[in-house]
Chain A
Amino acid sequence: MQEVTVGIAGAAGDGLDKSGDTLAKSCSRLGLHVYAYNCYQSIIRGGHIWLRVRIGENKVYSHGDNLNVLVALNQDSIERHAMEVEEGGAVLFNSDRLTCEPSQVKAGVQIVGLPMKKITEEVVKEHGALLPIMQNTVAMGAAAYFANVGLEEPSSVLADTFAHKGQKVIDLNVSLLKVGYEFAKANFKPVTKEWKFTHKKRCFLTGNEAIAIGAYAAGCKFYSAYPMTPASTILHWMANHANETGICVKQCEDELSVINMAIGAGIAGARSMCATAGGGFALMTEAVGMAGIMEVPVVCVEVQRGGPSTGLPTKTEQADLWQVYGASQGEFPRLIVAPRDIVDCFNTTVDVFNLADRYQLPVLLMSDLLLSEHPETVDPEVFNGNPVIDRGEIVSEWPESKGKFKRFKFTESGVSPRALPGTANTAFVSASDEQDEESILISDMFTSPATRRKIMDKRGRKIENLLKELPAPVLEGPADADLTLVCWGSTWGPVKEAAELLTAQGIKTNLLNIKYIAPFHAKEVEAILSKAKKKISVEVNYTSQMARFIKGETGISMDAHINRYDGEPMEPLYIVGHVKRILAGVALDYDVTEAEAKDMAYHYIRTHAQEKLRPTAATRESSNGHGEPTWNVELSERATGKLAARMKVGVSTGATYSFEKLAEEK
């Protein structure tokens, strides 16, 4: 399969997400598959933003490990990423401002300096002076050439993007695109062969958008939220589409209010949803149990980001399993589900609205930053706008002759038909206190142990029945594999690719992805894992939460764990490399690598040297009196390239042992 990865790097505010969108949408419209990942920081201007767009003839399941075209919008980006570009690839930059030396790239990489001023002369004559951000469009034109996707589709995407700004703005942008494309064409070779464009139109969307449209398809009428990355884009979608969808969208004063409003709406009978990140969910937990005891259908989306506490607001992690599993005091039925990709986000959302209604329970849908924010191409046929809506057992009429309505009737299924406020003769109180069949409190004066036991049993039966109808996890890949990778959530994508790579390299590998966490298919998982020859968990967290959870439920331990907790998602080669080390009996370490030492130096000089320096070289030193090897990083002046400072970073601990300036600045 032919594929190419284009990376765009710069600072926040450089507008590179829009550029990435243009390229990605163009490829998508040509019938190619796209997976994009934006690595960014919690900053509105400045910082370092690193967007990768992976394009393939077939479906791609992660942003991959390769880089073929780098569009660098500042000098930092060249220094950080030019060396990642593979042979035959290209590094694109504005040569009026930036430089890229042959020593900064691998052999066979094309250094493509775009003489912005010169090549845009004609455009400036016609349209007037350009805004700095417009150089991105020139660069995207060149990138379109290198990616071999032609000019026509990117031009049409730009026309759509700027449609609201009028023809003149469209013309300007399209001519800039053309300038970049023609310049590259006249001087360089594309990095890929000709594609076979199918022109099959696909949607290009994120997991959060998939959840939002899933909610609309499922008949969600009430959505509440408090802004929090990475859940906010669900709120934005909902707010932007409230007018046509008719969904009541409420931004609340805090997350306590968010979930309590959603539960209130659920009691009243509206399909309701809310979403937040881990920190917001921490505030919501008390109410989750209230929905449990009141037996209220409500959907709560928890988008994980790097924790603990405020943690890494714009980085991904899968470390909230304990929090979500342990949310709220006491024991109560709830569904915890973790979709694995964007299509799954849509389908799961549609499904859980039905399950929430039919089993009258809260649903906690776990996503993560990678899944929520990365856009991917999806066949539009996947999105069924007219799904089956099953509201479960609702009493719409209750003649007085039927006697007292029992909201929590002790039934065999555990589900008690519910009535919605407004129905005659079925008035009841939804209470956070324990209650009997008629919803009369048993907590204060008349606590009856038997009644308590029987209502717990009733609620418990719901979860037994729910488990029976949920599909159990299955092995993906060769049944006779030597190795089974165990994962959950968005890590499925890179694990799937890693398993295929390993199998192709002679290590027959399959995978087990866990989607339903509560209730959990303990028997089925135990049956699968007890037969697996070697089991390795792959999770974006520090403590292998899913592996521990599986052990708790099945008694089966993994043979090894692969973890990542640096804020970045799993990547196929990261997994492959770790698997090989595990199989070779080499202990895994999380030592600082040379590239990471330079990266740490970037952070250090930002705070201690006002970004006047940049790391140029790093050498490893063993006997240095620090009790561990160090990376000795050389820092040079940005302006002159003169060696200006040295710093030592511990290979094992990452400690900064020293930072010395060689010459005083004048």
Chain B
Amino acid sequence: MATVIELPVELFKGPVDPDWCPGCGDFAVLKGVQTAAAKLGITPENLLVVSGIGCSSNLPGFLHAYGIHSLHGRAVPVATGAHLANTDLKCVITGGDGDGYGIGIGHLLHAMRRNLDVTYIVMDNQIYGLTTGQTSPTTGVGQKTKSTPQGNHENPLNPLALAITAGATFVARAFSGEPKHMADTISAAIQHKGFSLVDIFSPCVTYNKVNTYPFFKERVYKLEDENWDRTDFHASLAKAFEWGDKIPLGVVYETDMPTYEDSELAFKKGALVKQSLKTDPKVWANIVEEMI
């Protein structure tokens, strides 16, 4: 393995400062991504951060790296295309729960079953923030929001359980109130070969008055402190459902499986963007001949 040359975190400082609300959990996530990239020695030109739309999806604009700030719900396919075109780049997808688990859930499921070698970081605040406080796919039952004044009556989605069953090979949870643990978790996710999902409790201080910093601080514990066996599929799936007085943080599940990239023949000659655009004369002759 190549020696990792750690880089200064400041290298990843973006051209503009974030315009998130003071106290937003996303600040810590931005720092977490920067810290992880610095620690892993991924240079800004080799880091591609792709997002959708939402408060948290503004993240690529706030760090120094290549970024794509795409459409609402489409971060995963845009990232997939960019990643497949240039597999030499480290691809990190960032976004919110509405973007990834609501409008973009279809893409997420398929990206996980493909086991693409990308990392997906969801800043899960259990609310739609940028649109000023409507219910999201992870909002708890009974919670009053602008779109559910009588209380939300749909069951929240369980991102971790979903990811484990859909075929993600690294499934973890972090919390903005635990920044060091979060940066370590993001580092591990980026290093993992295959699809890694990190669901991060990133409290919305403006619109979610239920899932607050204190709410999580009282409940969270770290799986790493309990020597959790992250390789047991069924136990991990059960762990993913743990919710209430105790909520686990850390890597819930990890397994080693072949990635999509492993079996894609087009990558045999390296990253697509580095290959010649010229046709192979022999191949061309055969193509014309088979039409005669």
Contact A427 B273 (CB under 8 A): no
A385 and B288 in contact, given A248-B84, A421-B82 (Cβ under 8 angstroms): yes
Contact A222 B81 (CB under 8 A): yes
A385 and B281 in contact, given A261-B78, A270-B86 (Cβ under 8 angstroms): yes
Give bound CA distance, A444 to B69, whole Å.
13
Contact A422 B74 (CB under 8 A): no
Contact B44 A219 (CB under 8 A): no
A421 and B272 in contact, given A221-B266, A248-B266 (Cβ under 8 angstroms): no
- Say yes or no: is A429 at the interface (Cβ < 8 Å to chain B): yes
Instruction: Please name all residues of chain A whose beta carbon is closer than 8 Å to the beta carbon of B67 when the two chains form the complex.
Output: 427-431
Measured CB to CB, the nearest residue on chain A to B268 is A246
Contact B291 A385 (CB under 8 A): no
Instruction: Please name all residues of chain B whose beta carbon is closer than 8 Å to the beta carbon of A385 when the two chains form the complex.
Output: 279, 281, 284-285, 287-288
Q: Which B235-292 residues have C-beta < 8 A from chain A?
A: 264-269, 272-273, 275-281, 283-288, 291-292
A262 and B86 in contact, given A389-B278, A445-B19 (Cβ under 8 angstroms): no
Instruction: Please name all residues of chain A whose beta carbon is closer than 8 Å to the beta carbon of B268 when the two chains form the complex.
Output: 246
Stretch of B57-65, B176-184, B226-234 on the interface side: B57-65
Instruction: Please name all residues of chain B whose beta carbon is closer than 8 Å to the beta carbon of A261 when the two chains form the complex.
Output: 77-78, 80-81, 84
Contact A203 B292 (CB under 8 A): yes
Give bound CA distance, A425 to B287, whole Å.
41
Give bound CA distance, A268 to B285, whole Å.
30
Q: Which A210-245 residues have C-beta < 8 A from chain B?
A: 213, 216-219, 221-222, 224, 241-245
Contact B283 A245 (CB under 8 A): yes
Give bound CA distance, A433 to B287, whole Å.
43
Residue of A265, A271, A423 contacting most chain B CB atoms (<10 Å): A265
- Say yes or no: is B1 at the interface (Cβ < 8 Å to chain A): no
Q: Report how many residues on chain B are interfacial, defined by Cβ distance under 8 Å.
A: 63
Instruction: Please name all residues of chain A whose beta carbon is closer than 8 Å to the beta carbon of B110 when the two chains form the complex.
Output: 252-253, 257
- Say yes or no: is A130 at the interface (Cβ < 8 Å to chain B): no
Min C-beta distance of A477 to chain B, whole Å: 31
Measured CB to CB, the nearest residue on chain A to B62 is A429
Contact B277 A221 (CB under 8 A): yes
- Say yes or no: is A311 at the interface (Cβ < 8 Å to chain B): no
Contact A432 B70 (CB under 8 A): yes
Give bound CA distance, A202 to B291, whole Å.
8
Instruction: Please name all residues of chain A whose beta carbon is closer than 8 Å to the beta carbon of B267 when the two chains form the complex.
Output: 248
Min C-beta distance of A466 to chain B, whole Å: 22
Instruction: Please name all residues of chain A whose beta carbon is closer than 8 Å to the beta carbon of B278 when the two chains form the complex.
Output: 219, 386, 389
Instruction: Please name all residues of chain B whose beta carbon is closer than 8 Å to the beta carbon of A578 when the two chains form the complex.
Output: none
Residue of A245, A426, A445 contacting most chain B CB atoms (<10 Å): A245
Instruction: Please name all residues of chain A whose beta carbon is closer than 8 Å to the beta carbon of B79 when the two chains form the complex.
Output: 264
Q: Which B69-124 residues have C-beta < 8 A from chain A?
A: 69-71, 73-74, 76-86, 88-89, 106-107, 109-110
Contact of A242 among B84, B109, B265, B276 (CB under 8 A): B265
Measured CB to CB, the nearest residue on chain A to B70 is A432
Instruction: Please name all residues of chain A whose beta carbon is closer than 8 Å to the beta carbon of B281 when the two chains form the complex.
Output: 385-386
Q: Report how many residues on chain A are interfacial, defined by Cβ distance under 8 Å.
A: 74
- Say yes or no: is A204 at the interface (Cβ < 8 Å to chain B): yes
Instruction: Please name all residues of chain A whose beta carbon is closer than 8 Å to the beta carbon of B214 when the two chains form the complex.
Output: none
Instruction: Please name all residues of chain B whose beta carbon is closer than 8 Å to the beta carbon of A422 when the two chains form the complex.
Output: 45-46, 66, 86, 88-89, 273
Contact A241 B66 (CB under 8 A): no
Contact of A246 among B81, B269, B291 (CB under 8 A): B269
A272 and B66 in contact, given A257-B77, A438-B15 (Cβ under 8 angstroms): no
Contact A253 B107 (CB under 8 A): yes
Give bound CA distance, A242 to B279, whole Å.
13
Contact A444 B71 (CB under 8 A): no
| Chain A 48-91 interface mask (CB, 8 Å, partner B; 1/0) | 00000000000000000000000000000000000000000000
A265 and B84 in contact, given A260-B71, A429-B68 (Cβ under 8 angstroms): yes
- Say yes or no: is A205 at the interface (Cβ < 8 Å to chain B): yes
Contact A428 B272 (CB under 8 A): no
Contact B85 A264 (CB under 8 A): yes
Q: Which A81-138 residues have C-beta < 8 A from chain B?
A: none
Residue of B48, B58, B68, B71 contacting most chain A CB atoms (<10 Å): B68
Contact of B86 among A242, A269, A380, A428 (CB under 8 A): A269
Contact B71 A287 (CB under 8 A): yes
Contact A241 B80 (CB under 8 A): no
Give bound CA distance, A433 to B19, whole Å.
15
Measured CB to CB, the nearest residue on chain B to A213 is B287
Contact B266 A246 (CB under 8 A): yes
A221 and B64 in contact, given A268-B85, A422-B45 (Cβ under 8 angstroms): no
Measured CB to CB, the nearest residue on chain B to A404 is B15
Min C-beta distance of A412 to chain B, whole Å: 25
Contact A432 B71 (CB under 8 A): yes
Contact A264 B46 (CB under 8 A): no
Instruction: Please name all residues of chain B whose beta carbon is closer than 8 Å to the beta carbon of A242 when the two chains form the complex.
Output: 265-266
Contact B69 A427 (CB under 8 A): no
Contact B45 A389 (CB under 8 A): no
- Say yes or no: is A486 at the interface (Cβ < 8 Å to chain B): no
Contact A441 B288 (CB under 8 A): no
Give bound CA distance, A272 to B77, whole Å.
14
A423 and B15 in contact, given A253-B110, A257-B110 (Cβ under 8 angstroms): no
Residue of A204, A246, A252 contacting most chain B CB atoms (<10 Å): A246
Measured CB to CB, the nearest residue on chain A to B80 is A261
Contact B275 A221 (CB under 8 A): yes
Contact B64 A427 (CB under 8 A): yes
Q: Which B17-71 residues have C-beta < 8 A from chain A?
A: 19, 43-46, 48, 50, 53, 58, 60-61, 64-71
Instruction: Please name all residues of chain A whose beta carbon is closer than 8 Å to the beta carbon of B69 when the two chains form the complex.
Output: 429-433, 441
Contact of A221 among B43, B48, B85 (CB under 8 A): B85
- Say yes or no: is A341 at the interface (Cβ < 8 Å to chain B): no
Instruction: Please name all residues of chain B whose beta carbon is closer than 8 Å to the beta carbon of A380 when the two chains form the complex.
Output: 288, 291-292
Give bound CA distance, A382 to B77, whole Å.
36
Min C-beta distance of B46 to chain A, whole Å: 6
Min C-beta distance of B214 to chain A, whole Å: 29
| Chain A 176-203 interface mask (CB, 8 Å, partner B; 1/0) | 0000000000000000000000000111
- Say yes or no: is A250 at the interface (Cβ < 8 Å to chain B): yes
Contact B77 A270 (CB under 8 A): no
Contact A429 B77 (CB under 8 A): no
Give bound CA distance, A86 to B45, whole Å.
70
- Say yes or no: is A536 at the interface (Cβ < 8 Å to chain B): no
- Say yes or no: is A574 at the interface (Cβ < 8 Å to chain B): no
Min C-beta distance of B124 to chain A, whole Å: 22
Contact B82 A205 (CB under 8 A): no
- Say yes or no: is A632 at the interface (Cβ < 8 Å to chain B): no
Contact of A241 among B82, B277, B287 (CB under 8 A): B287
A244 and B291 in contact, given A257-B110, A262-B81, A267-B68 (Cβ under 8 angstroms): no
Instruction: Please name all residues of chain A whose beta carbon is closer than 8 Å to the beta carbon of B109 when the two chains form the complex.
Output: 253
Residue of A258, A263, A425 contacting most chain B CB atoms (<10 Å): A263
- Say yes or no: is B16 at the interface (Cβ < 8 Å to chain A): yes
- Say yes or no: is A256 at the interface (Cβ < 8 Å to chain B): yes
Contact of B78 among A203, A204, A260, A389 (CB under 8 A): A260
The 15 listed contacts between A and B (C-beta, < 8 Å) are A205-B291, A221-B275, A248-B267, A257-B80, A261-B77, A264-B85, A267-B81, A272-B81, A385-B284, A389-B277, A421-B45, A421-B66, A421-B82, A430-B67, A430-B69
Other A-B contacts than A222-B81, A389-B277, 20 sampled, CB-CB below 8 A, are A221-B273, A244-B283, A245-B279, A250-B84, A257-B110, A261-B81, A262-B81, A264-B83, A264-B85, A265-B84, A268-B81, A270-B85, A286-B71, A287-B74, A385-B279, A420-B273, A422-B46, A424-B43, A429-B69, A440-B16
B residues near A (Cβ < 8 Å) are 15-16, 19, 43-46, 48, 50, 53, 58, 60-61, 64-71, 73-74, 76-86, 88-89, 106-107, 109-110, 264-269, 272-273, 275-281, 283-288, 291-292
A residues near B (Cβ < 8 Å) are 28-29, 201-205, 209, 213, 216-219, 221-222, 224, 241-250, 252-254, 256-258, 260-272, 286-287, 290, 294, 380, 383, 385-386, 389, 391, 420-433, 438, 440-441, 444-445
5 residue pairs, one from A and one from B, having the closest CB atoms: A264-B81, A219-B277, A261-B81, A385-B284, A429-B67
